[in-house]
Amino acid sequence: MLENIRVVLVNTSHPGNIGGAARAMKNMGLSRLVLVDPEEFPSGKAVARASGATDILDGAQVVATLEEALVGCSLVLGTSARDRRIPWPLLDPRESGTVCVEQIQLGGEVALVFGREYAGLTNDELQRCQFHVHIPSDPEFSSLNLAAAVQVLTYEVRMAWLAAQGRPSKVEKLEVTAMHDTQPVTADEMELYYRHLEETLVQIGFLDPAKPRHLMARLRRLYGRIAVSKLEMNILRGILTETQKTARGEPHKRRDQ
């Protein structure tokens, strides 16, 4: 479905930026690149910066005018530095990602339009866009590299697209696999741990039962923040058991002995 979102680069000066944009697109799962009157294309510099996204460059459509680039699009977003003479509906990159994905879910086609490295889009070009997108950069140093701007917008498209899948995103899946040894212990297991810890701290002379102060409360607050997994609890309990043996003067257990 992401193939229905095209990236349109207008009158790009540096072919390296075309390559960088292609790489960013492919990283984010987009494939359709349209170049309006590029200064130098095809180019070895574009291939070098694309770093493997050459299929995007090979498939790029080169056209003479923005009008041609936008044929078939039901939604057009244009990147803009702020403060135009005519105020325009303005989105931030996150909102842009959302409207792009909503549009392709409706069966539409979307163009994300990026202007020249130094001069951006002309007023005429901006007026062909339903929405302007402003990346909230520092006003003192606001102009992003072209490929970096493509990276931010396509990243937000991907985030919105993953969120819209109704299934776990790649990140969520990774979190699930990361959880396999993080099954949390129960409150009663934590209580057993605190009892074991307290006993051990008394044995090594760190906790004086006659003057406990707030030590156990502070340790509860500390370990209570962690969401300790069952595997981690085994480690913590193992440390306490060995510490107790040491305190009793028993010989060390070595796993390989």
Least Å distance, CB 64 to a second copy, is: 28
Q: Does 201 bind a second copy (CB under 8 A)?
A: yes
Q: Name which of 71 and 226 has its Cβ closer to a second copy.
A: 226
Interface residue with a second copy, options 1, 119, 174, 192 (CB under 8 A): 174
Q: Identify residues 130-149 at the interface with a second copy (CB under 8 A).
A: 134-139, 141-145, 147-148
Using CA atoms, how far apart are residues 163 and 166, in angstroms rounded to an integer?
7
Least Å distance, CB 159 to a second copy, is: 7
Least Å distance, CB 132 to a second copy, is: 9
Q: Identify residues 46-85 at the interface with a second copy (CB under 8 A).
A: 49, 51-53, 83
Sort 256 into a burial class: Cβ within 10 Å, 0-12 / 13-18 / 19+: exposed
Q: Is 186 helix (H, G, I), strand (E, B) or coil?
A: coil
Locate all alpha helices (DSSP H) within 86-229, ordered by sequence.
Answer: 93-105, 123-126, 146-164, 170-178, 187-203, 215-224
Q: Identify residues 14-53 at the interface with a second copy (CB under 8 A).
A: 20, 23-24, 26-29, 49, 51-53
Q: Does 120 bind a second copy (CB under 8 A)?
A: no
Q: Buried b vs exposed e over 75-104: b needs ≥16 C-beta within 10 Å?
A: bbbbbbbeeeeeebeebebeebbbbbbebb
Tokens representing 224 are 């209570």
45 Cβ neighbours under 8 A, 6+ residues apart = 14, 15, 16, 19
Give the Å distances, CA to CA, from 60 to 41, 113, 241. Answer: 10, 14, 65
Do you find a cis peptide bond into 42, omega within 30 degrees of 0? yes
Q: Identify residues 90-119 at the interface with a second copy (CB under 8 A).
A: 90, 92-94
Q: Name which of 102 and 242 has its Cβ closer to a second copy.
A: 242
For residues 33 and 157, the answer to whether their CB atoms sit within 8 Å is: no
Interface residue with a second copy, options 106, 166, 177, 188 (CB under 8 A): 177
Q: Name which of 65 and 165 has its Cβ closer to a second copy.
A: 165
Q: Give residue 175's Cα distance to chain centre.
A: 14
Q: Identify residues 206-245 at the interface with a second copy (CB under 8 A).
A: 206, 208, 210-211, 215, 218-219, 222, 225-228, 231-232, 235-236, 238-239, 242-243, 245
Interface residue with a second copy, options 106, 178, 187, 209 (CB under 8 A): 178
Q: Name which of 138 and 188 has its Cβ closer to a second copy.
A: 138
Q: Buried b vs exposed e over 8-42: b needs ≥16 C-beta within 10 Å?
A: bbbbbebbbbbbbbbbbbbebebbbbbbbebeebb
Q: Does 1 bind a second copy (CB under 8 A)?
A: no
Q: Name which of 29 and 42 has its Cβ closer to a second copy.
A: 29
Least Å distance, CB 65 to a second copy, is: 28
Q: Does 199 bind a second copy (CB under 8 A)?
A: no
